[in-house]
Amino acid sequence: MKENNKEYSLSELERMFDSDLSKGLDDSTILKNRTNYGKNVLEEKKKKPLWIKFLLEFKDPLIIILIIAAIVSIIIDLNEWIESLIIMIVVLLNAILGLYQENKAEKSLDALKKLSVASSKVVRNNSIATIDAKELVVGDIIIVEAGDSIPADARIIECSNLKVDEAALTGESVSVDKTSDYIEESNISLGDKKNCLFSSTNVTNGKARAIVTSVGMNTEIGKIGKMLNEDKEELTPLQHKLNSVGSLIGVMALIICVIVFILEMVSYNWNWEFFSDAFITSVALAVAAIPEGLATVVTIVLSIGVAKMSKKNAIVKKLPAVETLGSCNVICSDKTGTLTQNKMTVTSLYLNEIKEIKDLSNEEKKMLSYFAICCDASIENNNGKIIRVGDPTELALLDINNLYGNDIKIYKRLLDIPFDSDRKLMTTVIKDNNKYIAITKGALDRVLNLSIDDDSIKNKVLEANNYMASNALRVLALGIKEFDEMPLEKELEYDMKFMGLVGMIDPARKEVKESIRIAKNAGIKTVMITGDHIITAKAIAKELGILNENDKALTSNELDNLTDEYLYEHINEYSVYARVAPKDKVRIVKAWQKNNAIVAMTGDGVNDAPALKKADIGCAMGITGTDVSKEAADMILTDDNFSTIVSAVKEGRGIYDNIRKCVKYLLSSNIGEVLTIFIASLLTAFGFLNLGTPLSAMHLLWINLITDSLPAFGIGMEDVDSKVMYEKPRSKNEGFFHNGYILKIIFEGIIIGLVTLIAYIIGNNINHLLGSTMAFLTLSTTQLFHAYNVKSNHSIFSIKSYKNKFMNFAFIIGFTLQIIVIYTPGLRDLFEFVPMEFKYFAISIGLSFVIVIIMELYKLILRIKSKKN
């Protein structure tokens, strides 16, 4: 335990907690310590009730505008209840869809609680007992052994051959050798605290007795829980942009409402008897001017993207996360289990020379078998299920022997001297034919000093070791000693024959290098963040193409020495961070975000959870990932494959493009509707023509909810263009309507409005009902044609434009519904339409096709420019 950077001795801890290192706590001290230091449970963040979550679905500006407009509409005229009802149905549908997704909210602390072990062996009142882990208190003396999960943070009193797997907390794939030694050094990383045990890590070898120093929320895993609790939810880029769109539409609707009211009153010569009519017309128009289906369309488009991504091994928990990943320009990736296989693997050996594991001689195979014999790990086939028990390093030795070595089951181990951290050796004695062979494996310096006297041979071995180590391999040495009779233990571990070395590493995933290259081409920087040693991290990073010539790598301690300001200014220079703590990961993510980067964070351990939550998009591993990381993340990669992230980025970019197209389509259609009414009112107000109102609110609402929405869904289902991964990521500050997008929308809206108004004027010269009918058919059909213009850059006359089956279905259904409304008796009376003669029907369809001709010319110009470039 440390306080103010001071490392306390065991005797000091004993006094501080009123404990006894031999006898444990007594009953009165247990109660006192529980009061003073808390319970060994993880506190839950207070959850929002379902009804509050439901109400929060209505905070979107566009939704608020729709609700207000619907209420105002029904207050002004009770006959407008149908329109208001339809609006409210759309709003409720959108809220229910959003709540369904958001209700899969983060349960990070629930997952943390699941990591708590059920029971713990403890010394109390001078006797050993087994108690629920949640009953532990600070000062308790716990006993742990191989296979146990550690129930609380503790300081080791004594241990024997103790190894602990801390991958979930530190990210280091190799089990950590533990010791009871006092450590004077201060400010060391979690991975280097060799005399401490941490809650929810696992003992892989040996046993220990330790004094509990922290419980519950004060443990290292509890601190992670606090970070998750304190981190606030932030709006995604898409949510920001859609809010901006909603605000823009709201302002437009208000302005239109005022202007149309004034124009209506002008046409009535400011006769206040017609105030109600003018007000109802302007409010109804404002209601119709808002694309009622926008929020629902966007939600469904995102849902479609979620479904597509789930088929590609990416499960999205929150809809906006789909688009956010598509706009990211930095991926901060955990190494172990994400970029690597999370499985130690022997890759090379040294007998007389360094070589890869292939085409082995009999002597090299024998060496691998000797390594495998001198192991306490085991790999068993239990009814078809492979059960692997033991240290990852020893399991790697068993794996390589099973592939290339000899059968070791024929040998019986006659004597074992277990590994310990002082000797750094393990020895096993077997009988081979008439000889007794002592096999010793361990650290090179120990094996070398006990076996070789020839300096020239020793230098060659050291050169081989240095080469392997420089390539981030974990090196083990092997020595043997032969006896004619069964040896005594004291005769072992000296005057050995040096046999050779093996080098092992947690290797990079084969497909990751290509994925990183694709990400780089797409303008995305990959950053490695790991709890492993910096030499190992740099070697893997260079192999994968993460660490390039001018890139830097640094450790957690070096990172601590950098100010936030310096890190913010130089964050682009660093591609590898080693020996990191959870707080470091969050700090790195924040520094990138301060540089206006949209950050994706991948990870699988408990230690990754705070950074997963802080990042713009957190991606947890589905296979090796802990429950904590999965619950803290926005997305789960079910195959733990880095290449899945690249596929998700591509899908996210495509979805964002489709959403922009949906917004473009809906807004240009609504601008066309508004202009039709606005210009008609303008011409009437200034006495040029007596046009009246071309379309009623009922007509516009029908078109907005039926004709607009179905094609918009079709646009949202358009396949992703393969070219999106050759484009640079969008800037975090890039507006939704950048590069003149709003001008294109207005231009297209003007075309829609003008052809609709022309159709109305032609029909209105006969009678008003025919004019409204022609305007209705022209407007709805123009929008159906325009959906094909908007959905892709392909010509509408290309067969590629008709691959989208839903779009084809939407066109047929939309057009059919318009014909039914116009020609069905009773229904056409409700809408105040008249059946048209063929020539008026043909004129309407011909005017509708004008937008196709204009947009085809525009696309042709773009293609010509593209070829020139």
* pLDDT tens for each residue of 591-625: 999 998 999 988 776 667 778 888 888 888 877 77
* pLDDT tens for each residue of 1-18: 444 445 788 888 999 999
Confidence (pLDDT) at 288: 58
Confidence (pLDDT) at 99: 67
* Whole-number percent of the chain with pLDDT over 70: 85
Confidence (pLDDT) at 229: 60
Q: Above 50 in pLDDT, residue 115?
A: no
The separation between the first and the last C-alpha atoms of the chain, rounded to the nearest angstrom, is 65
Confidence (pLDDT) at 4: 41
Confidence (pLDDT) at 175: 79
Q: Are 178 and 156 in contact (CB under 8 A)?
A: yes
* pLDDT tens for each residue of 19-31: 999 899 998 899 9
Confidence (pLDDT) at 110: 47
* pLDDT tens for each residue of 343-380: 889 999 999 899 988 889 999 999 999 999 999 888 88
Mean local confidence (pLDDT), 108-137: 72
Active site residue 334: yes
Q: Above 90 in pLDDT, residue 525?
A: yes
Confidence (pLDDT) at 190: 78
Q: Which residue has the higher pLDDT, 298 or 507?
A: 507
Q: Which of 60, 140, 153, 334 is catalytic?
A: 334
Q: Above 50 in pLDDT, residue 113?
A: no
Mean local confidence (pLDDT), 685-698: 77
Q: Above 50 in pLDDT, residue 108?
A: no
Confidence (pLDDT) at 531: 79
Task: Give SS3 for 229.
Answer: helix
**Smallest Cα–Cα separation from 776: which of 759, 789, 761?**
759
Confidence (pLDDT) at 789: 92
Confidence (pLDDT) at 60: 63
Mean local confidence (pLDDT), 56-66: 66
* pLDDT tens for each residue of 751-781: 999 999 999 999 999 999 999 999 999 999 9
* pLDDT tens for each residue of 805-831: 989 999 999 999 999 999 999 888 888
Q: Above 60 in pLDDT, residue 328?
A: yes
Q: Residue holding tokens 């020793």?
A: 458
Residues in contact with 487: Cβ distance below 8 Å, sequence separation at least 6, in sequence order:
415, 429, 436, 438, 481
Q: Above 50 in pLDDT, residue 126?
A: yes
Dihedral-angle region of residue 485 (phi above 0 means left; psi in -120 to 50 means alpha; beta otherwise): beta
* pLDDT tens for each residue of 67-102: 776 676 677 666 656 656 766 776 776 677 656 645
Q: Above 60 in pLDDT, residue 643?
A: yes
- Mean confidence (pLDDT) of the chain: 83
Q: Which residue has the higher pLDDT, 307 or 578?
A: 578
Least confident range from 210-214, 559-563, 714-718: namely 714-718
